[in-house]
Each structure stands twice: as structure tokens, then as C-alpha cells.
Structure 1
Amino acid sequence: MTLETKKSVFVELGKFLSQFSEDNTIKNPEVLKNNQFFEDFTALIKLSQSHNGWYTPEQVYFSIQSWASALTEDNLNQWLSAYTIDNAKPKNIALILAGNIPLVGFHDFLSVLITGHSVLVKTSSNDQHLLPFMAKYIIAIEPKFADKITFVEGKLENFDAVIATGSNNTARYFEYYFKDKPSIIRKSRNSVAILTGKETKEQLTALGEDIFRYFGLGCRNVSKLFVPKGYSFDAFFEAIFEYQDVIHYEKYANNYDYNKAVFLMSNFKLLDNGFLTLKEDKSHASPISSVFYEYYDNLNELQTRLEQERDQIQCVVSTNLIENSIDFGQTQHPKLSDYADNVDTISFLLTT
């Protein structure tokens, strides 16, 4: 298959996904293979929460719409224009995927196939249905992909390189197990935000999206705030009040109750609005339903520190206070060129 053919298949996938949204799912008769797949995908979305309690319809639809927006001809062309792809020697690439948020491994899946390799996918037990369904769709559009895609339940074998995502503990296992193979091993990361006290209500409300989307389970979710000395959280709490309904979701509420109790029993000082706790802590990784915060004195010193800790950080959110920071509300809208852990997956696949 030529690169143009592969791109066209994923553009068709984007058109298929664009039909599905929480408020307005409408079948488009012009979408290829729709009669074969539309109703089944609608049913799968509704069943997703029974497969994984965190995969509520709202969160699954959000992920689907994000990929629908990304998989356009213009976006694919812009992303891939920086590379020479057609000369890549085809290899077998193993993927070990996470399952913390819906379709979190799709970018790796797309990257392997678009560069002409074959993919061996070991899905997470938390996300075993969405990606295989989408694979069936692209195979229906282009049957040549059938020989390029394999989902593996047991031991991974006969692969040339691996991309594996997991916790810091599993990453150590991956690094040992795959020490003789070219690899990208991703560990746990978190995202942080830098506030000055001059943010508008709209910006702070958008920050709530960075915190609460996917219930805070993603590496791009903000789990830590850096605030200036004397900062008042009143405006922050007022701005994020519109996310209060998150506490009505049982799994989130259970985490809120448990983590709050643990903090209080440990005599930690907390700020609390009834659905989110704020705790002063130097760590970047806060538990679900809690965000850590830390005071800073000097932005230049903070930037130096964040640079030193870049291996722990996925995104930095701010009003352009430091280089390469992301606007409020945008952490869950990455471009195709926004690689996890800032490791260029396409370059890895082309040089492996």
C-alpha cells in the first residue's frame, strides 16, 4: 500500500467516527461500510461502561470525537510531511497498550500502520473492545490491512521492536524483558499547571476540563498546581463549580471519600469544595479526586525545576509563562505531532 492509500483509509475512519457524539449521533449514508458497522459501534459505546466502569458514554464519546477531529486529510498531511515514509522497511512492531482512558493506544497503532509496518497488539484488560472494532473497520475499507494487524492474547512473539506503556513498576519489567529489542518504554507521567492569580474565570473553568476529563485518569490530566505565595483558591473553586456533577459518579465519589479520609486521618491540611480536595504536596502525582499544589517564589526558578523534572511531566499548562506550555482547557486535544513523553514515535519506527 502506498502512503496515500493508508492515509485515505484513516480519513475514512475519521468520517465514520465523526457520526458518534453524546448529544447528536446521526447515521451518514455517505460513510463507507456504514450499514455493516454503525449499529454495532453504537451498541459497543453503550456497553463500554460495563467493560470498564470508568468508560462512561460521555468519556468514550469525547475520545471518539477527538480522533474524528484528528483524522482528517489536512491533519494527516501536516503531521507526516516532516518524514520520508515510503522507503521504510516493513517490520513487526509489538504494542503493549495502557487502558486508563478510552483509545489511549490508538496513536501508536496509527503510527505503526501509517509507516508501513505490521502491528501486534496486546490490549489492556481495561480496554479490549474499542480498538479491535476500529481495526475491523479499516480492514473492511482496505482488506490489505488484514495481514498487517494482529491482536495477541498470550505471549508476544516474532516482533522486531516494541512500544510498551505502563506504570513505573511495569516499566522496569518491560526494560528488562525487552532489553534486546529496540523499544519505547513509557512510564507514569503527570501534567501540571502554573497559576499567577491573574487568570480569568474562563481560564480557570477551562483548567477544570484539564483536571476532570476522564476523571483525571490520563497522563495529560492536570494533577498539580503551582501557585504564587499568598494565592487564594476562592476564584479557582468558584470557576470549577460547574464540574460538581462528577461527584454523582459512584466510582469517583468512592475515591473522593476514601482519599479524603486518608488525608484527614494523616492530619494533612486540606482545601475541599465537596468534590475535589486540594493538598499542599511536592509530588506531581495526586490520587483521583485530589489535586496537589505547591507555592513558588520565582518563575525562572520554577521553569528550571520543571525542566529538571521533565521525565515526570507530560504537559505544562499556563498562560504562556514558560516555553512549550499549553493553554488552559487544551491538554486533552493533542495534535498528531504531540508525542507521548516527547518521544517521536514516527522517527523511531522509521529508524528501527
Structure 2
Amino acid sequence: MAGQAERLNAFIELGKFFRDYSEYHNKEVSETFEDVWHLKLEEAIGIAGHKNGWFTKENIVFSLKTWGAILTPKDLEGWLSLYEIDKNKHKTVALIMAGNIPLVGFHDFLSVLLSNNKALVKLSSNDAILLPLVAQFLIEKCPSLENEIEFTEGKLEHFDAVIATGSDNTARYFEHYFGHKPHIIRKNRNSVAVLTGNESKEELKAFGEDIFRYYGLGCRSVSKIFVPEGYVFDGFFEAIFDYNPIINQAKYANNYDYNKAVYLMSEFKILENGFLMLKKDDGYSSPIATLFYEEYRLLDELKVRIAEDREKIQCVVASGLFQDEVTFGHTQNPSLTDYADGVDTVEFLLKT
């Protein structure tokens, strides 16, 4: 079985690889990608984008860059120091991955392996290319990991615990089939932002990243904003104007046109700027190219509402309003301790 130090070193090497690729990916292959792994990754990114139109090269490279920034000796060792990894009882953990954004299940994969367990992975068909390549890289750096990483397309068998990510509907299915095993089962979550009207243009421009990165498909993507009564959206629309090229992506544009047609036929009142629609709605999960908004009268009342709905919310973007808020522009840059749904994955694994 792969030792802790060897596993850790393999992920440190992976981080360096991600950083190197992210830095040089725009240059000519013949000039830059002399390393065979750079060429393999370049090919995998092309295949992933071909199989899933939402996986543009820009978004895949953003994901790699984000992971590369925290797969460092300092961050990894600091994170693992919070736990007594040496007391872990080796187990096989089934990972049922989502496929909404590139490498969305990587944190679970990382947590399982660096807590000295085996990962039995069932990939989403929407994201089935990138993680197997990552696994190959890790195995080359730490050959004994070959027995600790297994991908399966069939029925999951012979595992001790399960971490499954999906929708509210699939969660019921997961509960039925895996409820007898130690488990983490994740449901739908969305992220929200609270605006006060005092945000600077720079903050609102950065906020565009929280809305548009990955086309809004991630659970950390903001799908709803709360604004004070009488809020004027002119400054908001002006600040996010630089994100307008997103409408040139065919799948995004098709969703924009379709949802706009539905809203107009239903006589819903919407605000729009040609690439984003704002719809007044008390829901949290907005369609692609749409941002729900809701007005509030008192901040204290809104804080109570958000606290009551925490099971539906992944992140809250704000400035100086909440203890665990995310600053504008940073929802897609989580740290190693930013666990999905607030459930500490490593602690779960160590106690199982």
C-alpha cells in the first residue's frame, strides 16, 4: 500500500504539473509542450471538450490553475496537519462523481487518497476524461497507487463507505441503495449574493466571475442575488459588461434565447443586457443565463432567512455582512478546507 509521504509527494508533483500547464498552455505545442504529460493533457482537454460542450478549454484550464494554486507543500501539509491521518483504518471508498464542471469531484478523490484509503470511482459521463488522466499521472509518480485507484462503469461493489454527489432526485436513489453504508450524500445547492448598493464597480466586476465562470453550472456559482428595495441595476449591468463574449458560446446562447422566449410568453417581467437575464423569483436555482433576484427591506431579516435556508445554499457572497461570506469574485477559488455542503470529508473518512 502506498505510504502517506509517497501519496503526498505525488499530489505535490501534480500541483506543479497543473501550474506549469496553466502558465504555458497558450503557447505553441511544438515550442512548449516537450513533456509527454503536457501533450497527454492537451489531448485530454480536447476530447473532454468534444464530449461535453460546456467544457471549454478556458474553463478546464481555470480548474487546473485553481487546483495547482493549492496543491503545494505548504497548503497540503497544513491541511493534513489538522487530522490524525495515521490513525485511519484503510478502507475502500466509493465515489459517485457529478459532471457539471471540470474535475468537480477532485476534492473527494484527493481526500480519500491522502487519508490513506482506496478510491473506487464511478464517473459521470459528462466528465469522464480528465480524472483518469490525473490518476495515470499520480500512479507514475507513486506506482503503489495503482492498487488504490479503481474506475468502474458497472455496479459498485465491495466498498466500505460512499460519497455521492447529485441532484435532489438522485439523492433519494443514493439513500435507497447506499443508506446502509457510512455515507455522504449531497443534494442540490446554489450560491447567493447579498448586495447593499454600496459595492464598488471593481467589486461588481469581480462578481461577474462568480456568476459566469463555468456558465453558472457549479454549486458555487451564484444563481440568485438579494438586493435592497428599489435597487437600480444600471451600475451592476455596466460593471459586468466585459463578460458579454459569453453569449458567443452556442450552448449558452441557445439557453439564453430559449429561457427568454419562455419568460416573454409567460409574461414574466425580466431585466436583460443581451447576455444575462434578471428575473424576480423567490427560488434559488435559476436556469442558465438567468439570475434570480429578490428584494429585502431589512438586512437582519434577510440574515434570518438565509440562515433558515442554509441547507439549500453553498456559498454566500457579500462584503462585511456574514461570518463565513465569500468575497466578490472568489467563489470558484475554494481552499482545501472549504468542504462541499460544509461536511468535513476527511473527518468523515477517519471516523468511518
- TM-score after normalising by structure 1: 0.96
CA contact (8 A) 1:22 1:57 kept: no
Displacement after TM superposition at 1:26 (Å): 6.7
CA RMSD of aligned residues (A): 1.3
CA distance in 1 between partners of 2:53 and 2:18 (Å)? 22
Q: What secondary structure is seen at the aligned counterpart in 1 of 2:334?
A: coil
| Corresponding residue number in structure 2 for 1:218 | 218
How is 1:336-347 mapped onto 2 (pairs within 5 angstroms)? 336-347=336-347
CA distance in 2 between partners of 1:301 and 1:36 (Å)? 56
Displacement after TM superposition at 1:43 (Å): 1.6
Displacement after TM superposition at 1:301 (Å): 1.2
Q: Does 1:319 align with 2:324?
A: no
CA distance in 2 between partners of 1:221 and 1:103 (Å)? 15
Displacement after TM superposition at 1:22 (Å): 7.5
CA contact (8 A) 2:279 2:291 kept: yes
CA distance in 1 between partners of 2:36 and 2:250 (Å)? 35
Q: Does 1:277 align with 2:277?
A: yes
CA contact (8 A) 1:99 1:127 kept: yes
Displacement after TM superposition at 1:167 (Å): 0.6
Q: Does 1:4 align with 2:9?
A: no
CA distance in 1 between partners of 2:132 and 2:43 (Å)? 15
CA spacing shift, 1:244–1:60, aligned 2, 3 Å? same
Q: For each residue in 1:279-334, what CA deviation from the matched residue of structure 2 results, as whole angstroms up to 9, or x when unmatched?
A: 00000110000000000111111111111100100000000212211100000000
| Corresponding residue number in structure 1 for 2:49 | 49
Displacement after TM superposition at 1:9 (Å): 1.1
Counterpart amino acid of residue 287 in structure 2: P
Displacement after TM superposition at 1:87 (Å): 1.6
CA contact (8 A) 2:175 2:185 kept: yes
| Corresponding residue number in structure 2 for 1:66 | 66
Displacement after TM superposition at 1:23 (Å): 6.3
CA distance in 2 between partners of 1:26 and 1:235 (Å)? 37
| Corresponding residue number in structure 1 for 2:160 | 160
Q: What secondary structure is seen at the aligned counterpart in 2 of 1:328?
A: coil
CA contact (8 A) 1:120 1:149 kept: yes
How is 1:1-352 mapped onto 2 (pairs within 5 angstroms)? 1-21=2-22, 24=25, 35-352=35-352
CA contact (8 A) 2:47 2:129 kept: no
Q: Please, which runs of 5 or more residues in structure 2 have no aligned partner? A: 29-33
Q: What secondary structure is seen at the aligned counterpart in 2 of 1:262?
A: helix
After TM superposition, the structure 1 stretch with the greater mean CA deviation from structure 2, 297-306 or 198-207, is: 297-306
- TM-score after normalising by structure 2: 0.96
CA distance in 1 between partners of 2:16 and 2:206 (Å)? 28
CA spacing shift, 1:98–1:6, aligned 2, 3 Å? same
CA spacing shift, 1:110–1:123, aligned 2, 3 Å? same
Q: What secondary structure is seen at the aligned counterpart in 1 of 2:127?
A: coil
Q: Which runs of 4+ in 1 moved over 4 A?
A: 22-27
| Corresponding residue number in structure 2 for 1:30 | none
CA contact (8 A) 1:90 1:117 kept: yes
Aligned length: 346
